[in-house]
Amino acid sequence: MTAFLQQLVNGLSLGSIYALIALGYTMVYGIIKLINFAHGDIYMLGAYCAFLITTYCGLGFIPALLISMVFCGVVGVLIERIAYKPLRHATRITALITAIGVSYVLEYATQYIMGSEVRTYPKLLTSASFHLGPVTITMQQVYIFVITVILMIVLQFIVQKTKMGRAMRAVSVDEDAARLMGIDVDKTISFTFLLGSALAGVAGVLVGIYYNSINPLMGMTPGLKAFIAAVFGGIGSIPGAMIGGLFIGIAETMVTAYGSSLYKDAIVYIILILILILKPAGLLGKNVREKV
């Protein structure tokens, strides 16, 4: 039982990271129906941005987090403006392939500038841990979980309660109708990229601190898993992304604990296959009938 609870804590902190990345996937998909494969690399850029700020400018955790959020947000908006906007009314596959191209550009540009070797963070957060009964929890795990939950609540508030959020939801339902209602569609889409990318930036910083190891290709696997988390939760749904992320994290950890650590990646892809067969709209996804 102790081991189970401990594994649950491990799974929650891993899942929180996936959830943060999945939020960006789900928002972008929700609004322009594009699977933004460059999203995992924005997460990587967030990690590198905070690495540079903390290592060479000597700033602390909070400023590094905020600057990385702003940096990733701006990069996200730029990518949308340069790469996706001209293709907004092209076929979906065109945009998808462009997204993969952007992903490679970011990965290899970073590799070119920063080198391909692993980098380590200076110590930003205490690595102290405390015991809750028999379970050991590190402060970093607490930070990760709490920050993820807070950001998710803020995001839900923005989407549901603010004027911008209403615009986002409107564009998501029908872009043309939204435009006729006087909504600035371009601005709304940019804002969505800004939010999603900033969250990926947060995830990058947290991972950099928690694992103390970053490299230019670090976004590939978590990006893919976060995408699966978004599909699992119902792509387009914010609480769905959160639940999906946590579920994938816990599933991976439990497979390691009670099966073999070699199957932990396999299980994630099996989940993807099952969800696509059994409930393609995802856990919380709405089944929208396609207009013909």
Q: Does residue 25 contact residue 219 with C-beta atoms inside 8 Å?
A: no
What whole-number distance in Å separates Cα of residue 206 and Cα of residue 148?
10
- Measured from the CB of residue 68, what is the shortest distance to other proteins in angstroms? 18
- Measured from the CB of residue 136, what is the shortest distance to other proteins in angstroms? 6
What whole-number distance in Å separates Cα of residue 224 and Cα of residue 75?
20
Largest Cα separation within the chain, whole Å, is: 59
Q: Which of residues 179-218 bind other proteins (CB under 8 A)?
A: 207, 211-213, 217-218
Angle between helices 185-211 and 39-56 (to 10 degrees): 60
Q: Distances from the Cα of 145 to the Cαs of 33, 156, 238, 270, in angstroms?
A: 29, 17, 16, 26
Q: Does 55 bind other proteins (CB under 8 A)?
A: no
Can you tell me which of 78, 90, 100, 118 binds other proteins, judged by CB under 8 A? 118
Residue with smaller CB distance to other proteins, 156 or 212 = 212
Q: Does 103 bind other proteins (CB under 8 A)?
A: no
Q: Judged by CB under 8 A, which stretch of 36-44, 115-123, 145-153, 154-162 contacts other proteins?
A: 115-123
**Cβ-count burial 211-231 (b if 16+ within 10 Å, e if not):** ebebbbebbeebbbbbbbbbb
Q: Does 7 bind other proteins (CB under 8 A)?
A: yes
Can you tell me which of 113, 260, 278, 292 binds other proteins, judged by CB under 8 A? 260
- Measured from the CB of residue 263, what is the shortest distance to other proteins in angstroms? 10
What whole-number distance in Å separates Cα of residue 267 and Cα of residue 21?
19
Residue with smaller CB distance to other proteins, 13 or 190 = 13
Q: Judged by CB under 8 A, which stretch of 26-34, 80-88, 258-266, 280-288 contacts other proteins?
A: 258-266
57 — phi, psi (to 5°)?
-105, -10
Secondary structure class of 214 (helix, strand, coil):
strand
Q: Does 116 bind other proteins (CB under 8 A)?
A: yes
Residues 6+ apart with CB under 8 A from 88: 32, 95
Residue with smaller CB distance to other proteins, 160 or 261 = 261
Residue with smaller CB distance to other proteins, 110 or 192 = 110
Residue with smaller CB distance to other proteins, 88 or 264 = 264
Q: Does 126 bind other proteins (CB under 8 A)?
A: no
- Measured from the CB of residue 229, what is the shortest distance to other proteins in angstroms? 15
Q: Does residue 9 contact residue 214 with C-beta atoms inside 8 Å?
A: no
DSSP string, 119-182: B-----S---EEEETTEEEEHHHHHHHHHHHHHHHHHHHHHHHSHHHHHHHHHHH-HHHHHHTT
Q: Judged by CB under 8 A, which stretch of 37-45, 68-76, 83-91, 250-258 contacts other proteins?
A: 250-258
Task: Write each residue from 133 to 162 as x if it is in contact with other proteins (CB under 8 A), else as -, in one continuous string.
Answer: ---x-x------------------------
Beta partners for residue 129, in sequence order: 138
Q: Does residue 107 contact residue 41 with C-beta atoms inside 8 Å?
A: yes
Residue with smaller CB distance to other proteins, 138 or 156 = 138
Q: Which residues bind other proteins (CB under 8 A)?
A: 3, 6-7, 10-11, 13-14, 116-118, 120, 123, 127, 129, 136, 138, 207, 211-213, 217-218, 221, 252-254, 256-257, 260-262, 264-265
